Structure formats: C-alpha cells, structure tokens
Copies of this chain bind each other. A is one copy, B any other.
C-alpha cells in the first residue's frame, strides 16, 4: 500500500470507528424516542469489584458487570443529557479533525443548555463512560490529556500530518510524542529495540553517550510515570515494529511500578488497557541484586517504601519468580538506589559496562524462552 494510504487507513481506523460508535448511539436514542421508550446506554462497571487481573492477557480488564444510564430516571436524566452533549461534541471534533483537552471539554459545557458540570471530575467521568461503553480511547474521540508524551531519540522516522520527522534530527531533547500519537505513522525504523528510562537525566546521559547507536536502540525518556501517549507509543513500537521494549527505572518501589504500569496497565484504566499495556516489555532497571553486585550508593528505605514493597508482593502483576525474589531482597537489604548512582564509576560507565551486561542477561533469557 502506498505510504499516504497507510496513514489515512490508520487515522480512519481509529477515528472512523469512534465516529461509527457515536452514530450508532445516536440512532439508538432516536429509535428509543420513536418507540416511546426512554433512551438508555449500557456502561460497563468500573468499580473496584469489577476490575479483574487477566492471567492470559497479563493486564487488568473489566469484568462482566455493567449498569444502565437511562433518561427515564429523574436521578439520571441530567447526566444522560450531558452524556449526549459530550458525544455530540466528540462527533464534531472528529468531523473537523480537531482535538480538545479534557479541561477545554469541561469549559465548553459552560455554554450548554443542559447546564455546566459541577467540576472537571464530573466531565472526566462521562468521558470515561464513553470510553468504557465503546472500548475506545478518549483520544479516538478527539479528547486528549494536556501533557505531551515522552522524548524519543534514535533511528525512527515518522510522519505527522504530512510532516516527516527523523528522531535523530529533532534536537538533543529528541522527538516529543504528541497526545495524538495514534495519528502518527511509523515510516522507517532501523532500531532493533527500545530502551525506555525513568528520568530525563538518564535519557540525556544515554543520548550523550550515543547509546542509541551502540545498542541499535530507540531511547525513550519517560519523565516519571508514563503518560498515556507514551504507553501507546511503546505498545505500537512493540506490536507494529516488532521491537522488544526494555524499561530502565530507579531501584525502588516507585521505579518498579513505573515499569509495571507500562507492562500490565493500571487497575484504574482497566477499561482501556487492551490499547495501552505492553505485556512483553521487560524490566531492565536497577534491582536489589544490582545494589549488591555493583556496590551502588544507596538510600535507606523509608517507611513508605517498605509499605509499598509489601503491597507489591501481594499484587498479581508481581507474581513471578524474578519480582518476588528482588522485592524480598530489597526488603532484606533495607536500601534502594537510583539509576544515576552508576555515576560513581564515571559518567560513561552505565553505557559502557552496566547496560551491555544487563541487556545480554535479559536477551539470553528471552532466547531461552524463560
């Protein structure tokens, strides 16, 4: 297929599906009214009791329970009307090829006849209802978070709305993943893997030491907890480009969990994890074993760290030999260490010594199917 068409197909795929779902919903409402029935919408329940860890897919999903939002109930009629206005706003965004932030969506309602939202929590909730009902991301409905995604550096060329961007030529700070990442077409990729790092300090270290060249890798700077756009980018890199994804985080419970949310998704977003989780991504960050083996500078675990580690021990996402053993070891050591602690051995050490050793270890295990 010619490149232009591939891109059109991608955009159509997501936006058109959203547009179709919205149209169907509207038709159902019209039909209900014609049949003198109160219009209604089935919405999967997002309550904690309906969030299930799916052992096969290896991420959280919603269970079988759902509720009905109906215009026939006095308690629900205003919310139902707001939901229809929101759907109408989304339809218009898709039609015009535009995007709005959740905050703009909230303020837009100030002009509605049905009355504004009480707060942004209310408008966000309605958008989540639509996402869950359709199984689509809000980005597909034209609604984006405020923040951009991560920075990417390496041999990847993308097409954004006809603008071709080479991620080795967008500056030292790299190519920034936009909130609208699903519109971006991957034109060319010569990298063989993705190394995503928690801090921008480590990102700039890897770019400066040319780790992207040395490891044939895309370097991704997560900026802490990964934004939705970043998670979507990593999933697409993994599935469309077939690249293994490695996650290099601080050796503490918060670093572990930054990696795990990328791998297995969060419970809160159970209704959309099938679009975001990267279950085959591998942890390549600082471990308790590294602290010992590399004699790293450490900090004492705070009470909060200890409590968090104990939570992780019971979390189904950490139910593997590797995680159980590393968490136990960290609790025994009573210490944690950051990625940048390798600077003790010189700035280049992490690229010259540490990463090659870790990559070899993880890729050998993968090769052996462990």
Which residues does A use to contact B, with CB under 8 Å?
Answer: 98-101, 103-105, 107-108, 110-111, 116, 144, 146-149, 151, 158, 160-161, 163-165, 168-180, 199-201, 204-205, 208, 297, 338, 340-347
A344 and B101 contact, CB distance less than 8 A: no
B179 and A171 contact, CB distance less than 8 A: no
Smallest CB-CB separation from A103: which chain B residue?
B340
Q: Which of B99, B169, B341 contacts A107 (CB 8 A)?
A: B341
B148 and A148 contact, CB distance less than 8 A: no
Q: A340-B103, A347-B104 are known contacts. Are A176 and B178 too (CB-CB below 8 A)?
A: no
- Residues on B with C-beta less than 8 A from A171 are 158, 160, 163, 165, 170, 175-176, 178
Q: CA A160 – CA B171 in complex, angstroms?
A: 6
- Residues on B with C-beta less than 8 A from A174 are 176
Main secondary structure of the interface of A (DSSP, over half): mixed
Q: What 8 A-B pairs have minimum CB-CB distances, sorted nearest first? A: A173-B176, A107-B343, A101-B201, A110-B344, A104-B343, A146-B201, A172-B178, A173-B178
A344 and B200 contact, CB distance less than 8 A: no
Smallest CB-CB separation from A341: which chain B residue?
B107
B148 and A345 contact, CB distance less than 8 A: no
B173 and A98 contact, CB distance less than 8 A: no
Q: Which of B103, B111, B200, B340 contacts A201 (CB 8 A)?
A: B103
B148 and A160 contact, CB distance less than 8 A: no
